[in-house]
Chains A and B, each alone.
Chain A
Amino acid sequence: MADQPAEKPDRPRPRDVTYLDGISIKPVYGPADLAGFDPARDLGSPGAYPFTRGIHPHMYRARVWTMRQYIGFGTPKETNARFKYLMAHGQDALNVAFDLPTQLGLDSDDPRAEGEVGRVGMAVDSLLDMEEAFEGIPADRVSISLTINSMAAFIQAMFMVVAEKQGVAWDKIVTTPQNDILKEFVARGTWVYPVDPSLRLVCDVAEFCAKHAPRVNPISVCGYHIREAGCTPAQEMAYGLAIVAAYTQLLQTRGLDVDDFAPRLSFNFTCWGRLFEEVAKFRAGRRLYARMMKERFGARNPRSMMFRSLIGGGGSAFTAEEPENNIVRGAYFALAAALAGAQTMALPTYDEAYTIPSPEAQLIALRTMQICAEETGVTDTVDPLAGAYFVEALTNEMEARIREEMAKVERMGGIVEAVKSGAVQAEVARQAYRFEQMMLTGEYPKVTVNRHVAPEAERGAAADTRLELYAFDPKVAEAQVAKLEHLRRQRDQAAAARALGRLRDAARGTENLMPPILEAVRAYATLGEMAGVLRDAWGEHKEPLVF
């Protein structure tokens, strides 16, 4: 063709580019790549079905994303102080990390909790700790993510009682308990009970909140952790959509109308990797979710079809080598999340490979998001990549890959069966190994790891000495244990025992467990006692051992 630039024989050939899901990327895209593309059908307007361009008509021109760093360590008092520090620097929502014993329903004096109390998050043994953590933080004025899953019912109940004591009505509180147990079985590992009773707890929280605390976002479906465990971007979206479909189906089976709970479902996904692949993943995911909720589950309220997402994280994409470079990586994640249409953003901190984040590292992550929002102009117009030949073609290809992965899950018997058999865990492990090989060969580029590697003498542990390592204080455990012993002596024993007895009976039946859990929380039953009652009734999950 006459208008094509002539190929010079000495010009270097373009290299091949294939993304993690096998999508082959052309050097140049053009009008032919949009054959059959119908903007009205495939995109719609921002804020309108199928929400490809975003869930709000004016997106960040009306309101910039929420900035929500993940915080929590040591005692509830220390966590409370860090919350207040970040709020004083412009963070408008909290994202609470809990220590592993809390996430697994063990009291701080349980032998299995030794060495873990207050380490990766805040320790919570009873209502008393939640009262301290939120002292001076009005329950109706801050939105609060509670990163907790198998114990979500208990922690959500504790927060509801904290609100009661502050004089705040339940219909005013905006919490987001993560409460996504299926992804814990696939990836994050803080499961306790077998799959079926675990699903019952998830749905008990969702059903109870739909009826009594309508602003609570009762489930945050996390593709994020599955991706961190090794799956591909299309699998991240496909597994997330399969998981939300499973919860939706269970709640409908309980007789709930999809429009009574779906407007409050939300998502937590990552965005590291190839910038446009990530943007395409979210645009395709929003479209698929809207169609699934409308066509398969019969949603009528447009809010039930909106893929509301926390986007960010991606600590696995950060390097231990030259950790300061992670600040730069974080800025690109923020850009990807903004172009992808995030409602909420959270970034990993550059020191994450080494330590519980320092206050300075947290502040840099917060400032990164603020700079992206206020200095770059990325917020000035909605979905600025719409209509780009490459981005629309890639969005279509990602949609096809996501559909294929969802079909594979169906062939495994659906996500619940695939989790029970370990089939989906095996696939994630396979992808993690494949990715590791790609890092070793340099097929997946990573500066300082397989590209531009520093000379031997400059590599290694030196970063440890440049970073402020979190000095874990063993006194945290002592303080928690002392508080627990004091509580067990001071509380009304008969009331606590009665409430635990009622929870035990309820666990054997089919009623919603939130009322007896709330009663036990008010009676200052400990988390370990309440979780133990359910353990006795249901047993523990047996993990399929696949790698």
Chain B
Amino acid sequence: MTERPLKVLVAKPGLDGHDRGAKVVAHALRDAGIEVIYSGLKRTPEEIVAEAVQEDVDVVGLSVLSGAHLTLARKVLEQLRAAGAEDIAVVIGGTIPAPDAQALLGIGVRRVFPMGTSLPDIVAYFRAFERGER
């Protein structure tokens, strides 16, 4: 592991405009000493991957509350592979029912944070990731 702190891109793919959760998580990660970039709303998977590569992040955290999580996560993963950046981990949070969470893990999403996930659990996950435990 490198010495630099973990670097995370919190991203809003697709058309969903609900950014409260994404901003709260970004804020909490920043408070935890993690370097955080926030993409802003309505980014395409291509734009998110380009930003992730250019900023050399370790993790992309997607936030989707519209129900389009499977389509969008699949596209982000495909674009990362196409960019030769499959070492960047993808995690996702939002309105994600249990069966879909399994499907997301199946296509290569590293971790799913469904509704009701507590903020400390999310921060703990990223801390563990930073220590190389995930």
Contact = CB atoms under 8 A, between A and B. Distances in A.
Interface stretch (A83-91, A173-181, A387-395, A432-440): A432-440
A119 B17 contact: no
A106 B44 CA distance: 14
B5 interface: no
A432 B118 contact: no
Given A116-B68, A353-B95, A464-B98, A547 B118 contact: no
Interface string A328-365: 00000000000000000000000001111000000000
Contacts of B15: 100-101, 103-104, 106, 112-113, 116
A119 B68 contact: yes
Contacts of A313: none
Nearest to A464: B98
Q: Kindly state the interface size class of chain A when it binds its partner.
A: 35 or more
A467 to B, nearest CB: 9
The B interface, classified by DSSP as helix, strand, loop or mixed, is loop
A353 B66 contact: no
Contacts of A316: 20
Contacts, number: 94
Name the residue in B24, B68, B116, B118 with the highest tally of chain A Cβ atoms < 10 Å from its Cβ: B116
A433 B27 contact: yes
B84 to A, nearest CB: 23
A429 B23 contact: yes
Interface in B1-30: 14-20, 22-24, 26-28
Interface residues of B, number: 35
Contact of B116 (A112, A228, A319, A465): A319
B20 A228 contact: yes
Interface string B31-58: 0000000111110100000000000000
A114 B24 contact: no
A436 B119 contact: yes
A320 B16 CA distance: 20
B14 A433 contact: no
A100 B20 contact: no
A354 B97 CA distance: 6
Contacts of A469: 97
Interface of A: 100-101, 103-104, 106, 112-116, 119-120, 184, 188-190, 228-230, 316, 319-321, 353-356, 429, 432-433, 436, 440, 461, 464-465, 469, 472, 543, 545, 547
